[in-house]
Amino acid sequence: MPELPEVEVTRRGLVPQLSGRKISGVSVREPRLRWPVPNEVLSLAGRTVGTIRRRGKYLLVDCGDGHLILHLGMSGSLRVLPPETPAGKHDHFDLLLGDRMLRLRDPRRFGAVLWAAGDIAAHPLLAHLGVEPLSRALTPARLHALTRGHRTAIKHFLMDGRRVVGVGNIYASESLFRARINPRRAAGKITIEQSEKLVKAIKDTLNAAIRAGGSTLRDFAGADGAAGYAQQRHYVYDRAGKNCRRCRTPIRKLVQGQRSTYFCPTCQK
Ligand SMILES: [Zn+2]
């Protein structure tokens, strides 16, 4: 499933390819995605693509009088291709921009192509999203304040997009390891010192993943140019029973909120 780093790598790959270009047409071959593709999307021709921003895992393509909202869902990928490239079975949406096009491939169809006129921040899908982990808004003091009074486990808290947006299962486990915090610890019991370590760990973990994906950016416009995602060398994620890279204790797995959590019982007391 595309996580925040892959969406950010995709964004960085798309900006130089699309920004400033005029939309020449739209092709919707399958409107039944996570939500139906609205009719407004069909009449985007003539608008110019401005900047492309990201909020959580949503890509927001500024079209002047509104935003095209794109989400990769469970299995989506975006590629920039020559406009004559034949569409495959799962290629549901094309945004044509003269000598190139942006194509959404999404076998499982949990992705989204939506249109938002007016104030994008107030859009129902975005208005309740939590603080952006890579923004300056996520400070140790902010995370500490957000967690006060919450008895839920810190791992679960981090994955709640209404608090902090886009820290998925892998990155929550990895960040808690780097910060040496037990994933079962009550969020409200996190100290300010732990909050400092955790905020740094979240940013470092996400940035490392973005750098790993970013190394494939030069291939972005190729025929197989979906944003690549180099397999990260995880500290704990998916390493149950293997030795901790720091202390050699076997990594443990537990289930929290129906998601697997991995941690080192020695490093994360
Ligand atoms: Zn350890």
One digit per residue, the tens of pLDDT, for the chain of length 269 reads 888 998 999 999 999 999 999 999 999 999 999 999 999 999 999 999 999 999 999 999 999 999 999 999 998 999 999 999 999 999 999 999 999 999 999 999 999 999 999 899 999 999 999 999 999 999 999 999 999 999 999 999 999 999 999 999 999 999 999 999 999 999 999 999 999 999 999 999 999 988 887 655 444 443 344 444 545 689 999 999 999 999 999 999 999 989 999 999 999 99
* Pairing mode of beta strands 52-55, 25-28: unpaired
In angstroms, how far is CA 262 from the centroid of its own chain? 21
Q: Give how far Cα 264 sits from Cα of 82, 171, 194, 227, Å.
A: 48, 15, 17, 32
Q: Is the whole-model pTM more than 0.75?
A: yes
Annotated catalytic residue: which of 57, 79, 178, 252?
57
Whole-angstrom distance, CA of residue 234 vs CA of residue 174: 7
CA of 148 to the centre of ligand 1 (A): 28
Is 30 assigned a catalytic role? no
The candidate with the shortest Cα–Cα distance to 59, out of 166, 138, 159, is 166
- pLDDT for 232: 66
Please measure the distance between the N-terminal and C-terminal CA atoms of the chain and give it in whole angstroms.
30
Is 86 assigned a catalytic role? no
Which residues have a beta carbon within 5 Å of ligand 1, which is an ion? Answer: 244, 246-247, 249, 264, 266-267
Whole-angstrom distance, CA of residue 40 vs CA of residue 115: 7
- pLDDT for 90: 96
- pLDDT for 227: 46
